[in-house]
C-alpha cells in the first residue's frame, strides 16, 4: 500500500511539474526570452519521458529519450554562460541531481566536474555579475549536498535490496524467492497430505512477431493486476522470465489446476485483445508427485508450457498428461482451446 501511495504521489508531482515547466516555457517565449524557454522545454521533456510520469516509460526508447533531453538542457545551460542570460545559471543547481538520476554514475561524475570547472571559468569572465563569487560557493555547496543525497539513496537501496520481494513492474513476487517459497509449500503439502499444483503462464510471442516488444511490456502491469485478482489470498505468483509467470496453488489438485489455468488463460487473452494485441496465451500445469522438489516441479511446469507452445500455443497443457504413459480412463493432453 505504501509503495502504491508513493507511486501515486510521484506521478502527481511529475504531472504538476510538467505543467509548470510548459507554462514557464510558454511565458518566456512570449516575453522574448528564448534561452529560458528552451531550457524549460527541455526540462519538461525530461519529466514527460520519465517512468514517474507513466509506468510504461521505464522501457526503451524512453530512457534514451530522457537522456537526450538532459543533454539538450545541459548544452543550453552551458551556452547561457557565454550568450546570456545569466538567469540560466540558477538552473545549474539541479544538474548534479539530474545527472545522477539519468545517466550512469561515471558519466554523472564527469558531467558534474565539467559543470563546476566551466562555471568557475565563466564567472571569472563575468565581471559585470556582482554576485558571481557567491554563485560559485552556492553551486559548490549544492554539489556537496547532491553527492550526499546520492550516497544516501544508494545506501538505502543496498539496505532494502534483501527485503524487496516484488517485481516493480508487475507486482509479482521476485524470482529469487521462488525456490525457497516453493520448497516450504512442498514440505507443508507432504506434511499435511494435501494436493498442490503450479501453473506456468507464458505469452505466445513467437506466434505474433508483428507486436513490438515495447508494446508487449507496456501491458505487463495490467497482466500482473489481473493475475493478482484471480488468485486466493494464500496463493502466490512470481515473474520467472520476461513474459512468463508461475502461480503456486496449495491444496489444489492437477485437474482443478487445469480448470483454473484455462480461466486465467482466457481472461488474459481477452485482456490482450482489448488492448489491440494479436497475442495468445498458453499455460503449463504440474501437480506435486512423490519425490518432487522445488526444481523438479518448476521444470515440469516449464516443460508443459513449452509443449503447449510447440503444439501451436493458445492452450493449456498438463505435464502428467503426456510425460507419463496414459492409463485407461486418464485424460489426454488438451487440444487448442476455443
What pLDDT, in 10s, does the model give residues 151-185? 887 777 776 655 556 776 777 887 778 888 999 99
Quote the pLDDT of residue 2.
40
Q: Above pLDDT 90, what percent of the chain?
A: 30
At residue 199, the pLDDT reads 96
CA 176 from chain center: how many Å? 17
* 215 vs 207: which has the higher pLDDT: 215
Q: Does the pLDDT at position 257 exceed 80?
A: yes
Q: HSE on the CB side for 218, CA within 13 Å?
A: 15
Helix (H, G, I), strand (E, B) or coil at 196: strand
Most confident of 40-44, 117-121, 179-183, 194-198: 194-198
Q: What is the pLDDT of residue 87?
A: 63
Which strands make up the sheet holding 244-250, listed edge to edge? 236-241, 244-250, 196-203, 281-287, 316-318
Which of residues 338 and 51 earns the better pLDDT score? 51
Range scoring the smallest mean pLDDT among 62-66, 157-161, 282-286, 316-320: 157-161
In this predicted structure, what is the pLDDT of residue 253?
93
Q: Are 313 and 282 in contact (CB under 8 A)?
A: yes
Q: Which residues, including other chains, have CB under 8 Å from residue 101's CB and lie 6 or more apart? A: none
H-state helical runs in 161-199: 178-192
61 cis-preceded (ω within 30 degrees of 0):
yes
Q: 3-class SS at 283?
A: strand
d(C-alpha 67, C-alpha 63), whole Å: 6
Kind plus residue range of the DSSP H or E element containing 166 = none
pLDDT at 327: 34
Domain ranges of the chain: 1-162, 175-318
Closest CA to 250 of 230, 231, 229: 231
Residue 326 pLDDT exceeds 60: no
Residues 237, 167: contact at Cβ < 8 Å? Answer: no
Alpha-carbon radius of gyration of the chain: 27
Evaluate the CA torsion angle 216, 220, 302, 280 in order and state its sign.
negative
Supply the angle between the helices 34-48 and 62-83 in degrees, to the nearest 10. Answer: 160
Class of 175-318 in CATH:
alpha beta
**Mean of pLDDT values over 226-233:** 89
Question: How does the average pLDDT of the chain come out, rounded?
Answer: 80
Buried b / exposed e along 220-255 (16+ C-beta atoms within 10 A): bbebbeebeeebeeebbbbbbeebbbbbbbbbbebe
**60-69, 155-164, 275-284: least confident range:** 155-164
Grade residue 196 by pLDDT with cuts at 50, 70 and 90: very high
Amino acid at each position: 500500500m505504501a509503495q502504491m501511495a508513493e507511486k501515486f504521489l510521484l506521478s502527481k508531482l511529475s504531472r504538476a511539474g510538467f505543467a509548470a515547466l510548459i507554462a514557464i516555457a510558454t511565458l518566456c517565449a512570449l516575453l522574448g526570452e528564448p534561452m529560458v524557454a528552451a531550457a524549460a522545454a527541455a526540462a519538461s521533456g525530461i519529466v514527460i519521458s520519465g517512468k514517474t510520469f507513466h509506468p510504461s516509460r521505464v522501457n526503451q526508447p524512453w530512457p534514451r529519450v530522457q537522456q537526450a533531453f538532459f543533454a539538450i538542457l545541459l548544452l543550453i545551460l552551458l551556452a547561457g554562460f557565454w550568450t546570456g542570460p545569466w538567469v540560466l545559471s540558477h538552473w545549474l543547481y539541479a544538474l548534479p541531481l539530474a545527472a545522477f538520476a539519468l545517466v550512469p554514475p561515471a558519466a554523472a561524475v564527469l558531467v558534474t566536474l565539467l559543470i563546476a570547472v566551466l562555471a568557475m571559468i565563466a564567472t571569472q569572465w563575468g565581471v559585470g555579475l556582482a554576485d558571481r563569487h557567491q554563485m560559485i560557493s552556492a553551486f559548490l555547496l549544492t554539489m556537496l549536498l547532491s553527492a550526499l543525497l546520492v550516497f544516501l539513496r544508494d545506501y538505502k537501496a543496498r539496505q532494502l535490496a534483501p527485503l524487496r520481494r516484488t517485481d516493480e513492474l508487475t507486482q509479482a513476487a521476485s524470482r529469487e524467492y521462488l525456490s525457497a517459497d516453493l520448497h516450504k509449500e512442498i514440505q507443508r503439502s507432504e506434511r499435511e497430505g494435501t494436493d498442490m499444483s503450479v501453473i506456468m503462464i507464458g505469452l505466445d510471442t513467437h506466434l505474433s512477431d508483428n507486436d513490438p516488444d515495447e508494446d508487449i511490456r507496456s501491458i505487463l502491469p495490467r497482466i500482473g493486476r489481473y493475475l493478482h485478482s484471480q488468485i486466493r489470498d494464500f496463493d502466490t505468483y512470481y515473474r520467472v522470465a520476461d513474459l512468463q509467470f508461475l502461480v503456486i496453488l496449495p491444496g489444489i489438485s492437477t485437474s482443478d489446476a487445469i480448470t483454473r489455468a484455462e480461466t486465467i488463460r482466457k481472461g488474459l487473452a481477452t485482456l490482450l485483445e482489448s488492448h489491440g494485441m494479436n497475442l495468445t496465451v498458453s499455460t503449463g500445469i504440474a501437480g506435486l508427485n512423490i519425490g518432487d522438489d522445488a526444481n523438479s516441479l518448476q521444470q515440469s511446469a516449464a516443460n508443459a508450457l513449452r509443449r503447449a507452445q510447440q503444439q501451436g500455443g493458445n492452450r493449456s497443457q498438463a505435464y502428467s498428461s503426456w510425460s507419463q504413459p496414459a492409463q485407461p480412463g486418464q485424460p489426454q493432453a488438451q487440444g487448442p482451446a476455443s
